[in-house]
Amino acid sequence: MGNYRFILSGGGTGGHIYPAIAIANELKERYPEAEFLFVGAKDRMEMEKVPQAGYKIEGLWISGLQRKLTLKNIMFPIKLISSLIKARNIVAKFKPHAVIGTGGFASGPLLKVASQKGIPCILQEQNSFAGITNKLLSKKAQTICVAYDGMEVFFPADKIVKTGNPVRSDLVENRSVAKEAVEFFGLDVNKTTLLVLGGSLGARRINQLIEQKLEFFETFDLQVIWQCGKLYYESYKKYDSNKIKVLPFLDRMDYAYSAADIIISRAGAGSVSELCIAGKPAIFIPSPNVAEDHQTKNAEALVKENAALMIKEKDLENEFEPFFSDVYISKSKQEELANNIKRLALPRATKHIVDQIEKLLKAS
């Protein structure tokens, strides 16, 4: 049967949206006649990103609970009831054969309703510290695809399958050579290249750090590809030169990773998975402003394997220069980190997740 109907739900951040899109693309590859519907939160970025990827999306009036008493918290029960009613209508009308949740608050009502109706449900958890929505849904899901070991502390062990996180296909199939990649950015193939990643919107503290350390990098004769994010580009574009490439975002991540000798990055689940595939020495500066401090936990999982280094934001002032100098000077350390991080890569994650969905379809 090729005319399956799939609902994919997840959002709020790129870390939940892009895995859902990658899974949909792989399902579409296998089942060209299938129908797809995404369900997200009304006012979040998925309402823009999913249609751009060519899929229909319905929005629920849902948001998370705040840590302190706010109007949003008072509205939460009303939003939840409204979302459950709309989710029930969506499921009844679309009649999916399977529902896939990738985290984020919108997936909660949708998967709860689907599981109550006996529709096969699969969860995909990107982080090493499970999100609250996926933890709540785990009892009802048939399969939970994870990227890290030790997830039994959050989920029923018999439902867990370690697949890894979906990453964009151009990185998995990346055949670009370093020389071609460096030249793409107009840089010198004979110099060491530092790649700085703060996510598509940018990371304020990382941008401040790089601005402060430009003279320090100059002492190493380093060249820099600095993805500062679209929110910050106007502030930092003045530093663009023949040795420093300042970009709001990177269209060619495959070239960026190929050109890099050392990478400084946030530690979102998607970034960590991509860096494992890139196989380059990485210094993580986790965002402290995310739910359950999951970026720090993602980074720590790699540090424990001697596959990456980490500096917390609060330690940057005192520790960054000696820390970076040690990595830059020691080629053996760079090699060790690169080899170890590459060993953690799971490049076939999207295919493995869709294999699990197919298993559920055959069993239902």
Q: How far is CA 113 from CA 39, 95, 96, 283, 333, in A?
A: 13, 12, 12, 42, 50
What residues pair up with 231 in beta bridges, in sequence order?
A: none
Known binding residues for UDP-N-acetyl-alpha-D-glucosamine:
13-15, 127, 168, 200, 295
Strand order in the sheet with 121-125: 57-60, 35-41, 5-9, 98-101, 121-125, 143-146, 160-162
Nearest to 168 by CA among 299, 19, 275: 19
Residue of 252, 363, 350 whose CA lies nearest to 26: 350
- Residues 34/27, Cβ–Cβ less than 8 Å: yes
Buried b / exposed e along 315-352 (16+ C-beta atoms within 10 A): ebeeebeebbeebbeeeeebeebbebbeebbbbebbeb
Strands 223-227 and 282-284: unpaired
Residues 135, 343 contacting (CB under 8 angstroms): no
How remote is the C-alpha of 287 from its chain's centroid? 13
Q: How far is CA 190 from the centre of its chain?
A: 32
290 Cβ contact list (under 8 Å, min separation 6)? 268
The backbone torsions φ and ψ at residue 151, rounded to the nearest 5 degrees and listed phi first, read -80, 0
Residue indicated by tokens 């990453």: 167
Annotated binding residues, written as ranges, equal: 13-15, 127, 168, 200, 295
**Dihedral sign from CA coordinates of 335, 181, 172, 144:** positive
Question: Which of these, 196, 340, 167, 181, lies nearest to 258 by C-alpha position?
Answer: 181
What is the distance between the alpha carbons of residues 27 and 300, in angstroms, rounded to a whole number? 33
